[in-house]
């Protein structure tokens, strides 16, 4: 058997001389080969549901850069679609969905058991990747966390302050809680199926966790993550879970212990020194270079990359960006980041 993969070692709590590295949105529009395959698929959703082509774009950044992990190519909004929401993408603007404003809309949603009919192609993509990835590369599956997914299902689009979701939470807590529970159950089944197809690690993206304050954070970011992690660990005890409660701020502290996740991904609004003393003290952390460096490059990129590597060098760390790479990034800056981390 091959020596245990570097990402799995870090997730098990090992401090490595050189941190393993991968990048959020590493398969994306900044890569010409991604744009070519997406054009071949027709549009973004057709690419997500085409196992051969989705596996191809997942592999592209592995071939080009030799990242330590590949993240399944899919989207967090496929779960709402599998639950019955209409979903489409407007070029240059982003996702659009049918909205949920009350009991009638909620009643039209499907049950978690129904999601696999839509999501089967995703499990096929995972199977292809489990077969075709280099043996040293870890395969990461993922889903959106319930709050973040709910914000899109309620508003029907991305929103700067998640106001429609906050309004439903405050005006109709019964339906809002039912929606969170429905997404939570679907996410457990979806991630379990990804693991059964060959995902070695799973990650929960809670991109909008930062807009949940105080008890709302505990109820709608921390608790669903705890419930999902507990259910996954019961079914698949050895599969590590990474949580990304983006912009959680002080709520990052103790998050791993309270939820049972194996790693907390940090965004770049917190300093690596703060992350090392307050979060890495409990176990593995992932992060947290600002994505803008992938656009601007140069000495600034090198300095911040080395500072992050140094700050997290005394504990388990997976090097990553603080959020996804953007379409205007220069592929050469990605290589510079990797060379700097591995230097």
Question: Which parts of this chain interact with ligand CP3 (CB under 6 A)?
Answer: 24-29, 38, 44, 71, 73-77, 94-95, 142, 158, 205, 207, 324
Which one, 27 or 139, has the nearer CB to ligand CP3? 27
Tokens found for residue 313 = 């060098």
The secondary structure of residue 240, as a DSSP letter, is -
Q: Which one of the listed residues 38, 246, 292, 309 is annotated catalytic?
A: 38
Which one, 21 or 311, has the nearer CB to ligand CP3? 21
Contacts of 213 (CB under 8 A, 6+ apart): none
Q: How far is the CB of 246 from ligand CP3 (least distance, A)?
A: 7
Q: Which one of the listed residues 30, 34, 75, 267 is annotated catalytic?
A: 75
Q: How far is the CB of 104 from ligand CP3 (least distance, A)?
A: 25
The answer to whether residue 35 is catalytic is: no
The answer to whether residue 29 is catalytic is: yes
SS3 assignment, position 254? coil
Q: Which one of the listed residues 152, 190, 220, 252 is annotated catalytic?
A: 152
Give the whole-angstrom CA distance, residue 156 versus residue 64: 36
Which one, 76 or 253, has the nearer CB to ligand CP3? 76
For ligand CP3, which residue has the nearest CB? 207
Encode 58-69: b = buried (16+ Cβ within 10 Å), e = exposed.
bbbbbeebebbb
Tokens found for residue 43 = 């549009």
Q: How far is the CB of 3 from ligand CP3 (least distance, A)?
A: 26
Contacts of 107 (CB under 8 A, 6+ apart): none
- Please give the full DSSP string across 276-328, using - where no structure is assigned: HHHTGGGSEEEEEE-TTHHHH-HHHHHHHHHHHHHHTTTS-EEEEESSPPPTT
The answer to whether residue 38 is catalytic is: yes
Q: Which one of the listed residues 29, 64, 96, 226 is annotated catalytic?
A: 29
Which one, 65 or 142, has the nearer CB to ligand CP3? 142
Q: Which residues form the catalytic set?
A: 25, 29, 38, 75, 152
């Amino acid at each position: 058997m091959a020596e245990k993969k570097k990402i799995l070692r870090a997730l098990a709590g090992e401090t490595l001389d050189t941190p393993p590295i991968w990048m959020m949105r590493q398969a994306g529009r900044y890569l010409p080969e991604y744009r070519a395959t997406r054009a071949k698929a027709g549009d973004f959703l057709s690419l997500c549901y085409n196992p051969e082509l989705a596996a191809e774009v997942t592999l592209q950044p592995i071939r080009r850069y030799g990242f330590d992990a590949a993240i399944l190519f899919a989207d967090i909004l496929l779960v709402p679609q599998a639950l019955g929401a209409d979903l489409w993408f407007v070029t240059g603007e982003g996702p659009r969905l049918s909205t949920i404003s009350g009991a009638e809309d909620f009643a039209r949603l499907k049950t978690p058991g129904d999601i696999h009919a839509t999501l089967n192609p995703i499990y096929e993509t995972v199977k292809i990747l489990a077969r075709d990835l280099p043996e040293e590369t870890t395969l990461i599956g993922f889903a959106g966390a319930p709050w973040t997914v709910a914000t899109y299902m309620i508003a029907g689009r991305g929103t700067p302050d998640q106001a429609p979701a906050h309004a439903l939470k405050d005006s109709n807590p019964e339906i809002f809680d039912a929606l969170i529970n429905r997404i939570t159950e679907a996410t457990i089944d979806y991630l379990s199926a990804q693991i059964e197809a060959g995902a070695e690690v799973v990650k929960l993206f809670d991109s909008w966790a930062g807009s949940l304050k105080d008890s709302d954070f505990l109820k709608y970011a921390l608790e669903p993550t705890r419930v999902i992690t507990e259910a996954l660990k019961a079914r698949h005890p050895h599969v590590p879970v990474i949580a990304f409660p983006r912009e959680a701020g002080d709520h990052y502290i103790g998050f791993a212990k309270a939820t049972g996740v194996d790693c907390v991904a940090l965004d770049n609004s917190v300093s690596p020194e703060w992350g090392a003393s307050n979060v890495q003290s409990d176990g593995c952390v992932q992060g947290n270079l600002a994505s803008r460096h992938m656009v601007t490059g140069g000495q600034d990129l090198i300095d911040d990359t080395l500072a992050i590597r140094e700050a997290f060098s005394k504990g388990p760390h997976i090097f990553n960006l603080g959020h996804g790479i953007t379409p205007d990034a220069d592929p050469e800056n990605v290589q510079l980041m990797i060379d700097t981390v591995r230097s």
